[in-house]
Chains A and B, each alone.
Chain A
Amino acid sequence: MAKKVALLTTNFFHPKSERIITGGAERYQVDFCRLLRDMGFNVEVWQMGDNWTKEFDGIKIHGVPANKTEYHTFPELNMAFYENAMAFDYSVYFILSLAYPLVHEKSIGISHGVYWDWPGFDTTTGKQEIKQEWLRRMGISLAGPQKLVSVDTNTINYFNATLPSFYNKWEYIPNYVDTDLFCPHEEDLTKDKIRILFPRRMVPVRGINETMRAAEILTEKYPAIEFHFCGRGHDDTIEMLMSQWAKKQERCYYYWKPFEMMPEIYQMADIVLIPSRSTEGTSLAALESMACGKPVVAGMAGGLSDLVLDGYNGYLIKPSVENLVSSIEELIKDSKKRRLMGERGREIAISFNKKRWDERWAKIIADVFR
């Protein structure tokens, strides 16, 4: 009989509203469940929700009424999952903090990158004691699972520098890209225009505000350039404000596209911006731009330094307006450099091929789930 894997996450579906926004972690989850299924496991998912069961991509997802968070952990949800999924052979804690306080015997915890490295995390946790309590609980989260998998080296190095006892549990499996789907276009699609793409969610931590200001400065200075902002906001108001702003600007455009359209969006660009201030893993958007042969201007945050070598396949910058403007200008002025950096990005992306991700994960899964 097929062995059963239970996966715990927080919000694959929004617990109440119907507004579904697929981000990187959600795509990861779908691909991960497919991999488990291909390996012969039966998979079901648990998350916060009002006692419902839904289905996505052939996988059952159960909503558990346990919405309380304490110190950025979810003990209520964790315990509900512990009891509900007792009949399953193996467990996956899709977010590390979900492994607090108790885990099933054979389990794996996943980190999608550091998300506590922005000033707001300290402000929302408030006092230093609260952050200490969060860190203590993370220590328990790391102690439970047999294997800890991180999408970037930054998370591993952070935890080794703060909770050093789990050194040998960590495994680095970077994010992936389908390099057949995301590939360079044969022709130069923009001709005498230079198109600059910001393919992220419209949130401050991704550097949206700095990028908008840089767009104002650069479109005024260079008549040949266009700025494209492609991605959702957290709510309707943000998306409306973005549209209004873009309409007022010369050659600035705001829209979002379904995933199937994204290869083409990247192919149409000449320069891609991933100017995150923090909370980054090995960003799928960065990998996809690289796979499409584009130079990337990235923030020096989280896992981006696992993908971009400064001055080689793009730039790693502190994403201030000034730094954005000067690094984009470097690329605007030099089409040879854009092409060379793009080619190198493509070469690097090939080592992050989806097939390798499948192989690495299959090895870990076979090691732990037996």
Chain B
Amino acid sequence: MDNKLAIFIPNLINWDGEKQIIGGLERYMIALAEIMTEMGYDLSFHQFAHHDFSNNSLDWPVYGYQADSRELHKTIGRMEKATKGRVLYSSIVQQTSYRPQSICISHGVWWELPGSSPVQAQKYYENHVAKALEQAGLIISCDYNFLNVTRAIYPHLADQKIRVIPNFADSKYYYPRKPKNTDHVRILYPRRLSPERGFGILKEVIPPLLCRFPQVEFEFAIDTNKPEYLEIFHQWRENLTSKERILYCHPDYQSMPEVYAEADIVVIPSIYSEGTSFSCLEAMAMGKAVIATDVGGLTNLIINGYNGLLIHPSKESLYQSLLYLIENPSVCTRFGEYAYTTSQAFSRRVWEARWRQCIKRIYPLS
């Protein structure tokens, strides 16, 4: 068998084929592509697009396939036809059929939108999870939560097909820096502005906290993938009286460590759709006090009251937990220390070694 392998991905670069997308899935796949290239595979990426394109600006060719977001399955069909041989599916969300000897990746339970119905939920797990369990050779899950939820739905299949490889924090870049010399308390939100990431509840608790504590400031480290989210953000910020204490930046991957270094508290207030979030792991590796929600894989990283706070994603609990940490800097320090030591258990080296094993087993090179 030759060493060609096609990777299906929703979007490694934007739908115009011009700009790299900043996000967890994208970084994950670049890290994976690096080790697979080193192992001798000849990789190509296949993604959705506004019009067909091929792009060679990264280390691997990226092919865009014209897609209509209401009929993505048609585009998947075209990708399937265009690629021969071996395929790796970067996200279980993307398709509902799999080649037999293939790996599919779950980045966490994603369909638990609050207020959706049991019937809607069932469609997701029957169309995506059940199909992957039946057809794919192996499902790599980035957290224990996906495995445990799947086992509770499909008790006889989950353990046969799913292997957990938690995400990592790269200690080469993410490690505690010297404490900064200010009496400001900076609270960092290093996520997308999309609804599942909890910007909606965070923006409600910010004005009262800024009003109550003159030393507190918030920083938003946000991407520019979606202009409409940015617009909402700026509209909201403009109307606040203490907007000068709401900072924002659009860092690339390389400058993230500096952004974390300036923070005292990091909030990961996700409402749904979480795995073992890179943002959470990296904040931990930087030795920061983390407030995360009891959603998805975040529960596999933060132990409430030990290395951070694990809260129910509501305005009330987010406000109370921020209040507690602002008023107790010594608790922040302790959480940060334990967050750092626990993050060491999520090393990039272990992640790579586990992945190599799985790749060798499913896609053997002759």
Contact = CB atoms under 8 A, between A and B. Distances in A.
Contacts of A117: 148, 151-152, 155, 158
Given A305-B145, A309-B342, A351-B303, A162 B314 contact: no
Interface string A300-320: 111001110111100010100
Contacts of A161: 109, 111-112, 121, 125, 149, 153
B114 A312 contact: no
B345 A163 contact: no
B338 A347 contact: yes
B342 A171 contact: no
Contact of B112 (A116, A119, A160, A312): A160
Interface residues of B, number: 46
B149 A157 contact: yes
A311 B345 contact: yes
Contacts of B114: 160, 164-165, 167-168
A156 B305 CA distance: 19
Contact of A278 (B111, B151, B295, B342): B151
A229 B153 CA distance: 31
Given A167-B115, A356-B305, A278 B155 contact: yes
A171 B151 CA distance: 22
B330 interface: no
Contact of A172 (B144, B147, B159, B312): B312
B306 A300 contact: no
B159 A160 contact: no
- Chain A CB count within 10 A is highest, among B149, B272, B312, for B149
A25 to B, nearest CB: 18
A35 interface: no
Contacts of A306: 299, 303
B115 A164 contact: yes
B118 A164 contact: yes
A130 to B, nearest CB: 14
B306 A153 contact: no
Interface string B151-166: 1110110110000101
A118 interface: yes
B310 interface: yes
> Which of B147, B148, B294, B314 has the most chain A CB atoms closer than 10 A to its own CB?
B148
A116 B303 contact: no
A164 B350 CA distance: 35
B116 interface: yes
Contacts of A310: 166, 345
B296 interface: yes
Interface of A: prevailing SS: helix
Contacts of B295: 157
A171 B316 CA distance: 13
Interface string A105-140: 000000000101111111000000000000110010
B299 A114 contact: no
Interface in A250-285: 277-278
A162 B312 CA distance: 18
A164 B112 contact: yes
Interface residues of A, number: 48
A78 interface: no
A91 interface: no
A174 interface: yes
A347 B115 CA distance: 38
A48 to B, nearest CB: 26
Contacts of B122: 162
Contacts of B342: 309, 312
Contacts of A347: 306, 338
A227 B229 CA distance: 58
Interface string B104-122: 0000010111111110111
B151 A301 contact: yes
B338 A119 contact: no
A47 interface: no
A95 B82 CA distance: 53
B155 A305 contact: no
Contacts of B300: 305, 309
A154 interface: yes
A82 B110 CA distance: 38
Contacts of A158: 148-149, 152-153
Nearest to A114: B152
A119 B294 contact: no
Nearest to B151: A117
Contacts of B296: 157
A90 interface: no
A59 interface: no
A356 B303 CA distance: 14
Contacts of A301: 148, 151
Interface string B71-111: 00000000000000000000000000000000000000101
Contacts of A153: 145, 294, 299, 310
15 contacts: A116-B152, A139-B118, A154-B152, A157-B112, A160-B272, A161-B125, A161-B149, A164-B115, A165-B118, A171-B312, A278-B151, A278-B155, A300-B147, A307-B303, A347-B338
Interface of B: 109, 111-118, 120-122, 125, 144-145, 147-149, 151-153, 155-156, 158-159, 164, 166, 272, 294-296, 299-300, 303-306, 310, 312, 314, 338, 341-342, 344-345, 350
Given A164-B113, A305-B300, A316-B164, 13 more contacts: A117-B158, A122-B156, A136-B118, A157-B112, A157-B145, A164-B114, A165-B115, A167-B114, A300-B144, A312-B342, A316-B144, A347-B306, A351-B305
The 4 closest A-B pairs by CB, nearest first: A351-B305, A153-B299, A305-B144, A167-B114
